Amino acid sequence: MFEKILAVNVIGPFQLAKLALAHLRRDGGGSVVNVSSVAGVRPTGSSIPYAASKAALNHLTRLLANVAGPEIRVNAVAPGLVRTPWTGDWGPLHDAMTTLAPLARSGEPEEIALVIVDVSQATYLTGQVVVVDGGVSLR
């Protein structure tokens, strides 16, 4: 299972970025935005293989940003708890967000999508992992 998780969360984004960089360079530049997780930023709240793979993705993001510039920006967005079909039955965790997060709720997929779009358009941002967790990481 660990190898499958690494394949999806690290090797896949690396291969995709490698292919995309050639096209983005040819077209004059652009942006790569990886989707990470707060599990890759903080050593709590997830399985070890998943968290380790997201931490590796964060480091990969920084490494790619270092070699892709100045034409191409590479960043990651690291969501916290988001209401999705996968987390739909995690009621107690979603309920706990009312006291854990300054924004007092879980995120919605549309909110994460907006941040991804914003990061992709931020022309002076590269090599960053943007945490989007309703403020949980502040506490």
**Taking the domains of the chain in order of start, what are their residue ranges?**
2-138
pLDDT at 122: 98
- Active-site residue identified among 33, 34, 50, 73: 50
Report pLDDT for 17. 97
For residue 69, the one-letter residue type is G
**What pTM did the predictor assign?**
0.94
Q: What is the pLDDT of residue 111?
A: 98
CB 125 within 8 A of CB 77: no
Which residue(s) pair with 75 in the sheet? 33
Q: Omega before 85 cis (within 30°)?
A: no
pLDDT at 69 (0 to 100): 95
2-138, CATH topology level: Rossmann fold (3.40.50)
* Tens place of pLDDT per residue across the chain (139 aa): 999 999 999 999 999 999 999 999 999 999 999 999 999 999 987 899 999 999 999 999 999 999 999 999 999 999 999 999 989 898 999 999 999 999 999 999 999 999 999 999 999 999 999 999 999 999 8
Burial 3-14 (b: 16+ CB within 10 A, else e): eebbeebbeebe
Give the C-alpha separation, 51 to 41, whole Å: 8
Which two three-digit tokens encode residue 3? 């190898």
Tell me if residue 50 is catalytic. yes
pLDDT for 119: 98
